[in-house]
Structure 1
Amino acid sequence: MHFTSLCILLTLMALCWCLDNGLVRTPPMGWMTWQRYRCNIDCKSDPDNCISENLIKSMADKMADSGWRDVGYTYVSIDDCWSQKQRDSNGRLQPDLERFPSGMKALADYVHAKGLKLGIYSDMGTYTCGGYPGTTLDTIKIDAETFASWEVDMLKFDGCYSNSTEKALGYPKMSEALNGTGRPILYSCSWPAYEGGLPPKVNYTQLGSICNMWRNYGDIQDSWDSVLDIIEWYAKNQDVLQPAAGPGRWNDPDMLITGDFGLSYEQSKSQLAIWAILAAPLIMSNDLRTISQDAKDLLQNRLLIYINQDALGKQGSLISQVGSLEVWKRELINGQYAVAVLNKGTDGLPRPYTTSLGLLNITQCTDGYKMYNVFEKEYIGMFKSGTPIDMRVNPTGVIFLFISPVSRSYMP
């Protein structure tokens, strides 16, 4: 009896240790290859845009030299299609040496010298989604050790070409293996996305004990329809998703596509505002070498990042709907709040909306609140509980507000 109790205690201690690896106490920020570059391995005809060390180095250069690192974007992550089609003679994964001639350790050194962190991709299955060698149950330990030896800082662990039973064994086992290397590696799990994202198939208590972040839903595509589909899924299931998130364990609605081809300026603001409300990882997938100044200004908006990186780590939620308008709210530290009013309409006319702090249930500070328009970078004024807040929200656009007690000072 005592032996059984001891085993249970040790198991619980191990789970706690897996959760508390000290990483990403606020949502991670960075850049990833997949959405923009997919599995482009044609370096002969498209050398500037193929999955290669040159692409990673050029993005790392931009992140270091163009202000991205300085506002918090630190992870530079390689997604699928980086490896050779076979493991080496010792059973280890190996990079494609035509596209990564210096090897992954040298690439990690280059990225680290820029003050950044390197992320890599593998798959809990026979193959990766792109058809490259996957990580099976018997290669988890050697793969974790390989990534650690390359001094990788993040692992995205996908779930193609495996079944539910293998995933249930493999995702916790990889968490244990990564921790066993002694190197702190952010662990991003795609597990729930392959199981429908919801209980009873998905156990968010378990996920929070083994993963730092996890994909809940399908891949984002470069379109407003895709962004809106993800937003609506999070709204529909927020009662399940919101309690699962917190410091060190984040719901991941997928990459930011601001700066690509599929979103208008207004729609880019909408994705960024809702991702900030959701306390989501801010992982871009775009071309930092050619990104427009407008897109860059949105992504580097310091007040938006301040909201996203709030230390309370509480995911926000949809609190009301009026026609095509949705009102989202997030509680922040020190009595502060963020509110996003999203217009899903496409009828061409900005839609009027009036609310108040009382209607938003932001009333704790009786002296009133200061309000800022996040994207306009302007101070709107001081408001009390019943003071009307009037706005007009552009089609597929958003008004994003930062609300702070008058006793606190914040300069956006």
Structure 2
Amino acid sequence: MEMADRLAEDGWKEVGYEYINIDDCWMDKKRDPQGRLVADPWRFPSGIKALADYVHSKGLKLGIYGDLGTFTCGGYPGTTLDNIILDAETFSEWKVDMLKLDGCYSNSSVKAEGYPRMSQALNATGRLIGYSCSWPAYEGGLPPKVNYTQLAEICNLWRNFDDIDDSWDSVLGILDWYSTNQEILQPAAGPGHWNDPDMLIIGDFGLSYEQSRAQMALWAILAAPLFMSNDLRTISKEAKEILQNKLLIQINQDPLGIQGKRVIKEKFDIEVFLRPLSKSAGALVFLSRRTDIPFHYTTSLKTLNYTSTMAYNAQDVFSGKTIDLKADTNFTVIVNPSGVVAWYIHPTKHLETHSKHHKYRKQDHLPNFL
């Protein structure tokens, strides 16, 4: 309830954060005599329905956790094939708005039957309940064991890969897996059905300031569902500013719903990510995996597959400053160690271009430019 207060009163709801999601261990260890799931009476003394009512009174939505197996990952009652309908009806009666269905203590055949059946059961309640499936993560995340066409029909989002840890190495590990398999994963994402690389760990303990900005920008490129994992009562001003960055959230929530890709991987540990956006716009992120000093990276929009006969406006998503660029004009970005330079780009006009390398005075242009 305190977290709902913070979400409603500290500017989070206004920028798009609207779900409060309860993870594993919310249940009592046993179902009630009618076979229904019951909230732990110590953790949730008023029950989930009362909590949902409170969350809704704040203009927010409540998400909950379940597991398609004999037990949840934490050892609490799971949802077996026999009680899928009962559990869906229970969540609906509690006025829950999202269900994450995990996959511990089951097998491939149970998952293949159970995940589609839960989708049908949730729809049958008549309540709009977002459906997050962990199915592909338990099957290796890739075809032929994972059918993304089927997933898009039954799930709103799905976990493909390992759980995130509160560390930069974990962020990079997830990013590597997504980038290596992007030709398979990218077409699977779209409005109403999303790849989920797991939570934002900004505002926790494991990321530096630069790394926090990097995760936010990269998750926006990946069209990732933005789930925070921090304590909103104690979050720092810097972390809050990153998580409430309106331009990055706009990029993340772009209505086209096209997931971005890594387009360049340099041998000197610089990578470039590109996401097409609506209204002929796009987002570019320059990532440094280096740990030594800021790196001066020179390229051009033409090199990054932008149309050479166009002029573009690039806006730094963190500073808000903008600059005009010709597609075939070289530019240099200065990328901090374990950090990013992130741009929102849109075309301005057709023109004839001549290659030229620009140097920018710090007082006139983006601080990330040389």
Same fold (TM over 0.5): yes
- Within-5 A mapping of 1:203-222: 203-222=147-166
1:109 equivalent in alignment to 2:50 = no
Distance 2:345 2:283 in 1: 6
Question: CA offset at residue 367 of structure 1?
Answer: 4.7
2:359 is matched with: none
* 1:20 alignment partner in structure 2: none
**1:340 aligned residue:** 285
- Alpha-carbon contact 2:310-2:327 (below 8 Å) kept: no
Question: In 1, are the aligned partners of 2:214 and 2:287 still within 8 Å (CA)?
Answer: yes
Aligned to 1:328: 273
2 CA distance for matches of 1:279 and 1:232? 16
2:220 alignment partner, SS class: helix
Q: Flag structure 1 segments of 5+ consecutive residues without an equivalent.
A: 1-56, 408-412
CA distance in 1, matches of 2:310, 2:192: 34
C-alpha separation between the residues in 1 aligned to 2:271 and 2:347? 24
Deviation at 1:390, TM superposition (A): 1.1
* 2:220–2:248 Cα contact (<8 Å) kept: yes
Tell whether the 8 Å contact from 2:137 to 2:160 is kept in structure 1 after alignment: yes
Identity of aligned residues (%): 64
Moved over 3 A (4+): none
Q: CA deviation at 1:270?
A: 1.0
Q: Deviations over 1:108-157 (max 9, x none)?
A: 01000101000000000000000000000000000000000000000000
Q: 2:104 aligns with which of 150, 156, 160?
A: 160
* 2:160 counterpart letter in structure 1: N
Aligned twin of 2:258:
314
Match for residue 406 of structure 1? Answer: 348
Residue equivalent to 1:66: 10
Kindly provide the amino acid, as one letter, of the partner of residue 342 in structure 2. F
Alpha-carbon distance in 2 for matches of 1:61, 1:377: 29
CA distance in 1, matches of 2:290, 2:174: 16
Q: Which residue identity does 1:340 align to in structure 2?
A: V
Task: Encode CA deviations 1:196-252: one digit per residue, 9 max, x unaligned.
Answer: 000011000110010000000010000001000000000000000000000000000
Q: Give the Cα–Cα distance (whole angstroms) in 1 for the partners of residues 222 and 15 of structure 2.
A: 19
Separation of aligned partners in 2, 1:375 and 1:252: 24
In structure 2, the residue matched to 1:254 is 198
Give the SS at the match of 1:297. Answer: helix
- List aligned pairs for 1:8-407, cutoff 5 A: 57-323=1-267, 324-346=269-291, 348-363=292-307, 366-379=309-322, 381-406=323-348
SS at match of 1:175: helix
Aligned equivalents of 1:384, 1:392: Cα separation in 2: 19
Query: Offset of 1:103 from its aligned partner?
Result: 1.1
TM-score (norm 1): 0.83
* Residues in 1 aligned to 2:331 and 2:61: alpha-carbon distance in whole angstroms: 42
Q: Distance in 2 between matches of 1:321 and 1:242?
A: 18
Higher relative contact order (CA 8 A, sep 6+): 1
What SS class does the counterpart of residue 227 from structure 2 fall into?
Answer: strand
| Structure 2 residues not aligned, in runs of 5+ | 350-370
How many correspondences in the alignment? 348
Structural RMSD (CA): 0.9
Measure, in 2, the Cα distance between the counterparts of 1:333 and 1:351: 31
Report deviation, 1:388. 1.8
Which one-letter code corresponds to 2:167 in the other structure?
A: S
